[in-house]
Structure formats: structure tokens, C-alpha cells
Amino acid sequence: MTLDPSRALPGRATPLAISGVHAVNGRGMLPPFPEGMQQIVLGLGCFWGAERLFWQLPGVYVTAVGYAGGSTPNPTYEETCTGRTGHAEVVRVIFDLAEIDLERLLQVFWEAHDPTQGDRQGNDIGPQYRSIILTQDEAQRAVVERTRDAYQQALTRAGGGRITTEIAPLGDFYYAEEYHQQYLHKNPGGYCGLRGTGVSCPIG
């Protein structure tokens, strides 16, 4: 359910302070990024496990977790968890098209979670856990929609449900608190709620 922006929490003008250094690969998480890099922002439930999934992929330059898709400027984790910011927990993926294509990133996205659950992933319930893809341009959106349709066909053949993933242009991306960045690297025994459907995505 989309939040009425007039009911959103006010947030703040100042971004949350982070080091800007990726704890796994030492690269900068803040722009500017090297020339030729692309970005896409993906939400597939709790962002801890989702970020680890993408930083491990060859061709991904750097990742960061944050909040996007809503209205509240520079929200905190606690504010986002109220459902009154409109934001989802997301991963910003900066990638090198010469090494990994968008289709491969999206294949990982579709297969790693259940995109049919609406405002939840498993036991994680609320709009902040919704499935969402935020694109940087129309070319990306076309690829996203093509892979969504392919995965929907595969899910339907397997008796699965209807994909509820939100697809929208990327607006503002707000970095999450430092302790959330690369959380499962810093806390190897931490919670990861990623659960796929078991259905492969027939792309690539």
C-alpha cells in the first residue's frame, strides 16, 4: 500500500553520517563513482542479506544499504520500520557493465526472494520489506520489465503467485546507518531472511 506523502514522517535535512568506505572491499560507497559505472537500487526484504548477495558478485564495484522509494528525507532505521516514511530497505548496486550485465543482476534478484508477497518477506512484515526495483533510466526499466515477465511465466508454470514487485524511477537514495553497512561481514552470525521461491529465472 502506497503511503500518502502528507502522512509521512518529516525526517531531517542532514544525511546520516557514515564512513563511506565499504568494509569488505575498501572502495568508496559515496559518489562520484568511476566512469562507466551504472547503478540500480534493489529491495528484496531485509537489506543485510541482500547486500551480501550482491557484493559477492564479480563485476559489482561496490554496494551500500539504504532507504528509497518513499517520501521522508534522510530517515533513520527506526523511522523506516514504522512504515510511515514510504521507503523500502534497499541495496544500491554500482556495477561495471563490462564485467556483469543487468540481466545477471536481475536474475539473482528474482531468484533470491519471493516477489509475490506484497508488503513482506516471510516473517518480516511491513512496507519497508516490499519487493522493489528503482531504475536509473528507461533502458534499465525495459530490461527489468522483460525479466519480470519472464519470471512471472516461470512462476505461473510452477503454480506460483503474481509478482507484486514495484518498478519505479530512482529518486533519492538515503544511506542507512553505518552499523547496517555490510552488516553480515561485521556480524557473520547475524540474521539473513532471504528465501527464494525455488523457481529459476529463465534469462541470460
Catalytic positions are 46
Query: Buried b vs exposed e over 103-139: b needs ≥16 C-beta within 10 Å?
Result: bbbbbbbbbbbbbebbbbbeeeeebbbbbbbbbeeee
Dihedral over Cα of 167, 10, 128, 53: its sign: positive
> Measured between alpha carbons, how far is 77 from 32 in angstroms, rounded to an integer?
25
DSSP for residue 4: P
For residue 135, give the 3-state DSSP assignment.
strand
> Measured between alpha carbons, how far is 90 from 19 in angstroms, rounded to an integer?
19
117 within 8 A of 132, measured Cβ to Cβ = no
Burial class of residue 85 in the structure, from the number of CB atoms within 10 Å of its CB (0-12 exposed, 13-18 middle, 19+ buried): buried
